[in-house]
Amino acid sequence: MAVEIPKDSWPGSVKEVTLGATPAEGGTRSRTVTVGGETTLPFMHFEAPPPHPPAIAIEIKSRRPQDWSPLLGELWGAAMNAPAEWARQAEDADADLLVLALDIEDTVDDAVAAVQSVLQASGLPLIVWGPGQAEKDNELLVPVAEATKGERVVLGICEDKNYRTIVAAALANDHLVQARAPMDVNLSKQLNILISDMGLPLDRILMDPTTGALGYGIEYGYSVMERLRLAALQGDAMTQLPMIVTPGYEAWKTKEAKVGEGVPAAWGDWQARAIYWETLTAVALLESGADIVVLRHPESVQNVKQAIANLMTPA
Amino acid sequence: MALTGIQIYKLLPQTNCKECGLPTCLAFAMKLAAKQVELAACPYVSEESKAKLAASAAPPIRLVTLKADGHEVKAGNEVVLFRHEKTFYHKPGLFVRLKAADPDLAAKVEAIENYTVNYVGMDFTVDGFALQADGDLAAAIETVRAASKRPLILIGEPQALESGLGALAGETPLLYAADSSNWEAMADLAAQHKCALAVRGASLDELADLTEKIKAKGVEDLVLDPGLNAEGRRVNMATWLARATQIRRLALKKNFRPLGYPLITFPAEHQDGAGEAVHAAQHIAKYAGFIVLDTFAPELLYPLLVLRENIYTDPQKPIQVQPELYEINAPSPDAPVLVTTNFSITYFAVANEVEGAGLPAWLVVTDAEGMSVLTAWAAGKFDAERIAKAVKDFKVAEKVRNRTLVIPGHVAVLSGELEEELPDWEIRVGPREAVDLPAFMKQALQTA
Amino acid sequence: MSEHVLTFYPEGDGNAQSVRVPTGTLVADALQQAGVEINQPCGGQGRCGRCVVQIESGAIRRRSTLRLTPQDIEEGFALACQGVVEGDAVVRVPPQEKISRRLTTDRTAAAVAPPPDYAWAEHQSLKRIPLTLTPPSMENQTDDWARLQTALRRQAALEDIVAPLPVLRKIGDRLRQNDWQVTALVDTGSQPKALLDLLPGYPRPEEPMWGVAVDIGTTTVTVWLVDLVSGQVRAQTAEYNGQIARGEDVISRIIYASKNDGGEELRQRALETINALIETACKRVRLTPEQIVKATVVGNTTMMHLFLGIPPASIRLTPFVPAVNSPPPFTASEVGLKIYPQARVLCLPGVASYVGADITAGALASGLADSEEVCLFMDVGTNGEMVLGNREWMITCACSAGPAFEGAGVVDGMRATRGAIEEVWINTTTYEPTCRVIGGVRPRGLCGSGLISLLAEMFITGILDKAGNLNFSLGSERIREGEHGPEYVVVWGEETAHGRDIVLTRVDIDNLLRAKAAIYAGFSVLAGQVGFDLQQVQRVLIGGSFGQYINVEKAVQIGLLPDLPWERFEFLGNTAVRGAYAALLDRRAEERIRQIAARMTYLELSADNTFYDAFMAAMFLPHTDLTCFPSVAATLNKV
């Protein structure tokens, strides 16, 4: 029996967004990373092969983090004390991109120095996150944006409260922004509209719909991403942006990943569980449309890399 | 083509007789459009209308139930491609495969049978066992049944399986698997012993051929294994995703019955380097009905059981956060205690404002069934009694030295009753809007 | 480039002014050059229509006719800011007061007139039946009541009439004092039919008979005093509901009612308000309330429960089920109305906890229930209820919009009374506002229409982004960081009645956004549930006091109302009391409202997760999906 395979053809597609700039393009990166460009739902090769594989970013910090799981502390060791070294090791661990998260204690000089040291240590395109408090974000990200003009750095994390300053800095210095809305299709779309109303072209916005870890709200993030991607394919311009999500951050703040003692025996081996937690969160999000996943553990990076390779080549 | 509520309404008697249990014919039509009621509930619908409405009825994916004494695992009856559209109904059964010839079989069964893990108050277990008939199947079944009453999947050739079926009278196991070489014998066996039957093939064409032929032999509870290629090896993630998606689309959108069955998967058999866990995760998210694991490891099972629970959660429920005592910016025991509801947007609004301002605080999130402050108050889900109960249940007084409780300004009216409920606490009325919280905390509470 | 001569005649100020300008000059610029004053509150964008002038003769091209009707154009009107000089012209500049009246109106209000086909003898359930009884004698010792029943049977074919005890008590005297010539007042609408009163002699046919239609609103109670014979409304009175002192919204009242004797107190407060209104109305037509022999009552479900003294507690708790949707008839003395004690009080039926008799009555009064075309009826007060449908089907829902559009929950909000700013225009370059104040006095605050207008202007001029954030980069001192966060100063303290600045804060804006989003989400969910395209709604029928003064264009710009052609909107005022009035007069109307209540499909939004999505989509200016608001998109492109 010849079964006729139903194929969807969509009026819309996702914009391509390129992170980083090589010397020829006005930056210093050894290569750029392009994501997006999808014309169908994730990995539907029989309709149209995805033009770019999803990218993996490894998250590093400007200062040694105090609240990370000890598993990560042991793993990265002394590299956590120096962002440049950490960046080098992250690149060796197969990252496509780096996320440098600035710290609330950073002065402007600290922040700029950390960003510059990372740019010197690694040729990967860079995403820089402020510490997550609107005023401090603005204080640090504007000088960082100026000091890295032309690098096509992604500035984050832009939310509805602080988007104006960050977007203005991106506009003035040829950077991109990461636009985060709290797990809601409409809020994501609204933030994209606000940013685009300021004049930032859509191909310089990464959409971060926020996600929860496995067991901590992943289903909401998962469905929001599926809905955003469906809306994009249906032609809604303000959702046609590649999606960046942070399964590493989310998974590693769960008790399951963070804590090894005093937990039920049914949770099994701590390290293996923690890596599964990060890996499975990331894989589920890839299937729902993530273009960039930000991870923390090199073993998860390998697992997710393998999954991406598999998803990109039908066999 | 799915009909709209109005279109369906025009085909109904429009008498508002209420016999369907709904107050009006339009209400019934809307439920019918949403596939939440059966057309049969309307006693007066005309034959003509029935015919017109038939297409938008009948579940396109067959419900297959594996049964053992007291345990059931169901798969099928799904009506959507994306969980946000409605909900995924039947969680895929997680089975662990064991070998009949395994000398440690009894011990393994016992360990798996006893595995229980608690996730937000729910106890999860493995759903059943898959037995590979590589030895004395009847004896192996006896061993399993000595420790477990969970449903079985029996894997092997027809003759080998037949030897075991005698021991499973009254149960509905799943036989794995019929293919183009053995389908007749398998179908006969399944028919004779009233088993469900898995069907495998290297393409959708082959699967559809087989299901039609087997159905013609009277076996209807079929399960598809679309995970093999022409060489008999497992396909990789991309191909599996494509096939699973195509099968569900054909069933749902084209009402294509030959593939309208649940799927069975074997995550460990995919030799593409991605690993059993990653494949199993893909199968949970994308349309598996039964998942047969080769590894029994708590650190693997626990995340898979949680993922399954998450994906199969009813998306119609408002987005909620877990009611508990949340810590914001590492609060000391002297930090203030704020109260709000467990509607996620409300929670995020409060938590983000306080966190963003760098102020340490304890946040009591009460169970208001996912409603915002005003809505919950209006519906009686956020009152003095509930707040007091949360404060007691979360043992706030043990963790916090401070005895000041800040309630949202919108429910200022509750402060009197709350003082009665919580006599040791000073009740303060905070601002109506989260955005004003940092200023309130700095000025009124003098939080550093 | 050629030059042209423009001559201006400022009306009321006689002196003609001439000026030479090149082709392509705007009339507004020419006016300025000539030194002739003209107001341009919108900054010359053709949005406000305030700079309208009349072209006596000559060549002026109208770049935009947005604010002009074909008749306006016929009469030579043009907007100065949109008029392009293409030849010599003579232009009349009207004074501003006149302009505002000349503006294209976007509201229509219907006046009260009795239904044209009303014939009381036929349609009224109360009948006056003149009777002549044979006096009793030693030969005929039939009792008075049986004698009366026989007369009713023989002379009016009325069987099985009953009489309440108080009526029985007076028939003996009434008959004897009037020589057995009396008029029976019979209620033929009750089961069984009842003798309500025995009137002396034979009143003239046109002699009035009195009834009241009562609408118990959460905020305002309205009473219409009606002559049931002519069908005329003889007096209309309205007053704040005395229950307000015990809570502004229904939820507060439900909670108040469930404590101690709160329910009885609220019942008394409602009765006091209604009885006082009836008394006032009666005084106007020199009547005593006891002459009123029939009443119809509408109100939301909570108000109806409180009026009847039925505990309303279950209304607000899941699964949101009221004690009664369709109360049976009562007598006035039972419910406490101070009219004729045996008068029948008809409480019209509601549909659900949050869709009451005010809505079923409104569905009739607005014409929706008789319409062939699909209509949207909305009644926005403290709650927003709406009905989508036509004579074949009706679906309804209620959304808690909150009282923001009534001025509550907004720092400088107030009701639409003297001193309320009811309209605002903001200049696009200076961000300076121009306000219209009710009564023309110094402003005290902003009423609902003022808030809608202000929000729309702030958005269109870019003071607000689409999320309602204030834009501090515009350099206006009116945009500042206030006590409650970012705010916009509408009127500086030196120009207000109280000396304080009148502001709109970010929190106010959020409250307004929530209110408008709840209402719009209600529309979209109703339409979505039945698979109907909101753009296909042929008439939008707006009831309630809220609707009376709002400007459609502004309400569309903020996304409160769907973006449909203006002519599809009809403002009907209080449709609830109008429906009660219809039922008071005509038993067919009463029956229709009962049918409407039975047929209306109620959608519980709290059980509908699409509502939350629709609400979030509407929490944006005008809406997350701008394609639903093409006219607003066009305006934004122009600015």
Contact in structure between B117 and A266 (CB atoms under 8 Å): yes
Of C170, C171, C126, C183, residue with least CA distance to C147: C171
Judging by beta carbons within 10 Å of its beta carbon (0-12, 13-18, 19+), is residue B257 exposed, middle or buried? middle
**Cα distances (Å, whole numbers) of residue C371 to B183, B220, C112, C211:** 63, 52, 20, 28
Rounded Cα–Cα distance for residues A37 and A242 (Å) = 8
- C39-54 pLDDT, tens digit per residue, is 766 666 666 677 889 9
Question: Of the residues C200, C232, C259, which one is the last residue of a structural domain?
Answer: C200
Q: What is the pLDDT of residues C422-442, one digit of tens each?
A: 899 999 889 999 999 988 899
Instruction: State how far the Cα of C524 lies from the Cα of C516, in Å rounded to an integer.
Output: 12
Give a yes or no: residue A288 inside a domain. Answer: yes
Q: What is the pLDDT of residue C106?
A: 28
Min Cα–Cα distance to chain C from B372, Å: 11
Phi-psi domain of A115 (left: phi exceeds 0; alpha: psi -120 through 50; beta: other)? alpha
- CA–chain centroid gap for B213, Å, is 32
Q: Are residues B210 and B96 in the same domain?
A: yes
Report the share of chain C in percent with pLDDT over 90: 64
CATH code for position B379: 3.40.50.11600
Within-domain flag for A89: yes
Q: What angle do CA C292, C298, C303 make, to 5 degrees?
A: 115
CA-nearest of C86, C91, C92 to C4 is C86
Task: Report the alpha-carbon angle C186-C192-C196, nearest 5.
Answer: 30
B15 & B119 share domain: no
C95-114 burial, b at 16+ Cβ within 10 Å, e below that, comes to eeeebeebebebeeeeeeeb
How would residue C101 be classed by pLDDT, with cut points 50, 70 and 90?
very low
**Identity of the amino acid at C362:** G
Taking Cα atoms as reference points, which of C505, C501, C520, C511 lies closest to residue C628?
C520
Measured CA to CA, the distance from residue B108 to residue C428 in angstroms comes to: 77
Residues of chain C contacting residue B16, judged by C-beta atoms under 8 Å apart = 598-599
In this structure, what token pair is assigned to residue C118? 């009303």
Parallel/antiparallel/unpaired status of strands C445-446 and C433-437: unpaired
Q: Which of B205, B235, B304 lies at the smallest CB-CB distance from A2?
A: B205
- pLDDT value at residue C103: 30
Check whether C301 has a pLDDT greater than 70. Answer: yes
Angle at A100 between CA A98 and CA A101, to 5 degrees: 145
> Residues 6 or more apart from B156 whose CB is under 8 A from it?
B132, B133, B134, B137, B176
The reply to whether omega before C404 is within 30° of 0 (cis) is: no
**Count of CA atoms in the C-beta half-sphere (13 A) of B191:** 13
Beta-bridged to residue B199, according to DSSP, are B178, B224
Beta-strand relationship, C433-437 and A16-19: unpaired
What total of structural domains would you count in chain A?
1
Report the phi/psi class of residue B292: left, alpha or beta, with left for phi > 0 and alpha for psi in -120 to 50: beta
Q: What percent of chain A has pLDDT over 90?
A: 90
pLDDT surpassing 80 at residue B156? yes
Whether residues C525 and C626 fall in one domain: yes
Please check the confidence at residue B393 and state whether its pLDDT lies above 80. Answer: yes
Name which of A57-66, B81-90, C323-332 the model is least confident about.
B81-90
Judgement on whether residues C170 and C309 belong to the same structural domain of the protein: no
- The DSSP symbol for C470 reads B
A171 at interface of C, judged by CB pairs closer than 8 A: no
**C494 burial type by CB count under 10 A (0-12 exposed, 13-18 middle, 19+ buried):** exposed
Q: Do the domain assignments include residue C607?
A: yes
CATH number at B17 reads 1.10.15.40
Whole-number Cα distances in Å, C210 to C163, C215, C335, C343? 20, 17, 18, 10
User: In this structure, is residue A149 part of a structural domain?
Assistant: yes
**This prediction's pTM:** 0.86
Does one domain contain both C75 and C42? yes
**B383/B356 same-domain check:** yes
Provide the CATH number for the domain around residue C568: 3.30.420
Does residue C67 have a pLDDT over 80? no
The confidence band for B96, taking pLDDT boundaries of 50, 70 and 90, is very high
Helix axes A218-233, A185-197, angle to 10 degrees: 60
Query: What is the model's pLDDT at position C104?
Result: 28
Whether residue B59 lies inside any domain: the answer is no
Question: What single-letter DSSP state applies at residue A267?
Answer: G
SS3 B65: strand
Counts for chain C of helices (H) and strands (E), in that order? 19, 26
Q: Which of C147, C167, C200 is the last residue of a domain?
A: C200
Please give the DSSP secondary-structure letter assigned to residue C104. P
The CATH number covering residue C314 comes to 3.30.420.480
Residue B223 binned pLDDT confidence (cut-offs 50, 70, 90): very high
ipTM beyond cut 0.90: yes
Burial class (CB in 10 A: 0-12, 13-18, 19+), C238: middle
**Average per-residue pLDDT for chain C:** 89
Which of A174, A236, A172, A244 lies closest to A206 in space, CA to CA?
A244
Per-residue pLDDT of B160-212, as tens digits, reads 999 899 889 889 999 999 999 999 999 999 999 999 999 999 999 999 999 99
In this predicted model, what pLDDT tens digit does every residue of C386-415 receive, in sequence order?
999 999 999 999 987 767 777 777 889 887
Is the Cβ pair C507, B316 closer than 8 Å? no
pLDDT tens digits for range C149-175: 999 999 999 999 999 999 999 999 999
* Confidence at C334, pLDDT banded by 50, 70, 90: very high
Specify burial of residue A198 (Cβ count, 10 A radius: 0-12, 13-18, 19+). Answer: middle
Q: Is residue B354 situated within a structural domain?
A: yes
Residue-range definition of the domain harbouring residue B44: 5-54
Q: Which residues contact A129 (CB under 8 A, 6 or more apart)?
A: A99, A100, A101, A102, A156, A157, A178
Q: How confident is the model at residue C14 (pLDDT cuts 50, 70, 90)?
A: low
Residue range B391-415: average pLDDT? 90
Nearest CB to A277 within list B242, B272, B303: B303
Q: Say how far apart CA B288 and CA B312 lie, in whole Å.
A: 12
Residue with tokens 């429920």: B317
Of B171, B240, B247, the closest CA to residue B211 belongs to B247
Q: Are C232 and C322 within one domain?
A: yes
Residue C552, pLDDT above cutoff 70:
yes
pLDDT at C110 over 80: no
Range of the domain at A21: 16-310
Closest by Cα among C327, C337, C332 to C360: C327
What is the least distance, in Å, from the CA of A234 to any CA of chain C? 13
In this predicted model, what pLDDT tens digit does every residue of C443-493 receive, in sequence order? 999 988 899 999 999 999 999 999 999 999 999 999 999 887 899 999 999
**DSSP summary character for residue B444:** T
pLDDT of residue C105: 28
Burial class of residue A113 in the structure, from the number of CB atoms within 10 Å of its CB (0-12 exposed, 13-18 middle, 19+ buried): middle
Token pair for C428: 């696009």
CB B31 within 8 A of CB B53: no
Candidate from C255, C485, C532 with C-beta closest to B435: C485
CB C426 within 8 A of CB C461: yes
Q: Tell whether C135 and C268 lie within a shared domain.
A: no
Mutate: best of B253, B278, B306, partner A, most A CBs <10 A: B278
Residues 6 or more apart in contact with residue C252 via CB below 8 angstroms: B413, C246
Average pLDDT over all residues of chain A: 95
CA closest to B299 among chain A residues: A268
> Cβ contacts of residue C54 below 8 Å, gap of 6+?
C75, C76, C77, C78, C91, C92, C93, C94
Q: Which residues pair with C228 in a beta bridge?
A: none
Asked if residue A2 belongs to a domain, the reply is: no
Neighbours of C598 (CB within 10 A): 16
Q: How far is residue C388's CA from residue C394's CA, in Å, rounded to a whole number?
A: 6
Task: Tell whether the model's pLDDT for residue C97 goes beyond 50.
Answer: no
Domain end (from C507, C525, C543): C507
Q: Same structural domain for residues B89 and B33?
A: no
The pLDDT of residue C33: 85
Does the residue B316 lie in any domain? no
CB contact under 8 A, C469 and A193: no
Which distant-in-sequence residues (6+ apart) come within 8 Å of C158 by Cβ? C129, C152, C186, C188, C193
Q: What's the domain count of chain B?
A: 3
The answer to whether residues C444 and C313 belong to one domain is: no
Whether omega before C192 lies within 30 degrees of 0, making that bond cis, reads: yes
Residues of A in contact with B297 (CB under 8 A): 268-269, 272
Average pLDDT rounded to a whole number, residues C291-306 = 97
Statement to judge: residues C620 and C523 lie in one domain: yes
Predicted local distance difference test score (pLDDT) of residue C109: 32
* CATH number for A271: 3.20.20.20
Q: And the tokens for C371?
A: 């319409």
Alpha helices in A134-238 (DSSP H): 134-147, 163-172, 185-197, 218-233
- Helix (H) / strand (E) element for C568: namely none
Q: Provide, rounded to the nearest whole percent, the portion of chain C with pLDDT above 70.
A: 94
Q: Is B367 left (phi over 0), alpha (psi -120 to 50) or beta?
A: beta
State the smallest CA–CA distance between residue A170 and chain B in angstroms. 22
Chain C residues with beta carbon closer than 8 angstroms to that of A189: 624
Stretch (H or E) spanning A176: strand A176-180
Query: Are both C277 and C157 inside the same structural domain?
Result: no
Contact of B273 with chain A, judged by CB distance below 8 Å, is answered with yes
Which residues, including other chains, have CB under 8 Å from residue A238's CB and lie 6 or more apart? A189, A192, A193, A196, A202, C624
pLDDT of C222 > 80? The answer is yes
Rounded CA-CA distance C575/C544 in Å is 7
Q: Say whether A315 and B212 touch across the interface (CB within 8 A).
A: no
Predicted pLDDT at B266: 98
Q: Please state the length of chain A.
A: 315
Q: How many CB atoms lie within 10 A of CB C121?
A: 9
The answer to whether C469 faces chain B, any CB pair under 8 Å, is no
Q: How far is the alpha carbon of C490 from chain B, nearest alpha carbon, in Å?
A: 22
Chain B positions touching A186 (Cβ under 8 A) are none
pLDDT value at A302 more than 90: yes
Residues of B in contact with A219 (CB under 8 A): 83, 310-311, 313, 315
B194: left (phi over 0), alpha (psi -120 to 50) or beta: left
Among B47-61, C331-345, C470-484, whose mean pLDDT is lowest?
B47-61
Number of domains comprising chain C:
5
Please give the residue that has the higher pLDDT: either A122 or B254: A122
C531: nearest CB among B7, B375, B433 = B7
Q: Structural domain of residue C501, as residue ranges? A: 404-507
CA B156 – CA B27 distance, rounded (Å): 51
